Amino acid sequence: MNLNVKMLENELWYGGSVADAMLAPFDESSVYELDMECAYNQTMPFFLSSKGRYIWCEDPMRVQIKNAEINLSAPSEIILCNAGKTLKDAYMVASKSHFPFSGKIPPLKFFESAQYNTWMELDYHQSQEAILEYAHGIVDNGYEPGILMIDEGWHTRYGLWEWDFVNFPDPKAMIEELHALGFKVMLWVVPMVTADGQAFSMSYFDYHSNLDGACGDKRYFLRTDNGKVALLEWWNGFSAILNMCTPDDREYLDKKLRKLIDEYGVDGFKFDGGTIEAYHQRNIVNGPQTAYTPAELNIAWNEFGARYEYHEYKDTFKGGGKPVIQRLRDRSHRWKNDGIDTILPSALIQGLIGHPFICPDMIGAGEWSCNYDPNFKIDQELFVRMAQVSALLPMMQFSWAPWKKLDEKHARLCLESAKLHKKFAPYIIELVKESATTGEPIVRHMDYSYPNHGYERVLDQFMLGDKVLVAPVIEKGEEQRQVLLPEGKWLYLGKTEYDGGKPITVDAPLDVLPYFIKK
Please write the tens of the pLDDT for every residue from 171-195: 999 999 999 999 999 999 999 999 8
Cβ burial of 164 (10 Å; 0-12, 13-18, 19+) is middle
**Is residue 151 within 8 Å of residue 188, measured between CB atoms?**
yes
Over the stretch 470-497, which tens digit does the pLDDT of each residue have? 999 999 999 999 999 999 999 999 999 9
Q: What is the pLDDT of residue 213?
A: 41
Over the stretch 54-102, which tens digit does the pLDDT of each residue have? 999 999 999 999 999 999 999 999 999 999 999 999 999 999 999 999 9
Cis? peptide before 25, omega within 30° of 0: yes
- Supply the mean pLDDT for the chain: 95
**Other C-beta atoms lying within 10 Å of the C-beta of residue 424:** 18
Helix (H, G, I), strand (E, B) or coil at 444: strand
Average pLDDT over residues 215-222: 62
Residue closest to 401 by CA, chosen among 194, 189, 141, 220:
141
Q: What is the pLDDT of residue 185?
A: 98
Residue closest to 167 by CA, chosen among 136, 122, 121:
122
Query: How far is Cα 175 from Cα 187, in angstroms, rounded to an integer?
Result: 11
Residue closest to 474 by CA, chosen among 381, 405, 396, 397:
381
Q: What is the pLDDT of residue 214?
A: 38
Assess whether pLDDT exceeds 90 at residue 368: no
Q: What is the pTM of this model?
A: 0.95
Assess whether pLDDT exceeds 80 at residue 412: yes
Q: What is the pLDDT of residue 371?
A: 86
Query: How far is Cα 403 from Cα 411, in angstroms, rounded to an integer?
Result: 5
Q: What is the pLDDT of residue 446?
A: 98
Q: Which is more confident, 265 or 198?
A: 265
What percent of the chain shows pLDDT beyond 90? Answer: 90
Over the stretch 113-160, which tens digit does the pLDDT of each residue have? 999 999 999 999 999 999 999 999 999 999 999 999 999 999 999 999
Query: How far is Cα 479 from Cα 324, in angstroms, rounded to an integer?
Result: 37
Over the stretch 250-295, which tens digit does the pLDDT of each residue have? 999 999 999 999 999 999 999 999 999 889 988 999 999 999 999 9
Amino acid (1-letter code) at residue 196 = D
**Is residue 476 within 8 Å of residue 340, measured between CB atoms?**
no
**Is residue 361 within 8 Å of residue 112, measured between CB atoms?**
no
| 106-to-315, 348, 429, 482 alpha-carbon distances in Å | 18, 20, 11, 35
Dihedral sign of CA atoms 309, 315, 317, 321 in order: positive
What percent of the chain shows pLDDT beyond 70? Answer: 96
Q: What is the pLDDT of residue 216?
A: 41
Pairing of strands 397-398, 443-444: unpaired
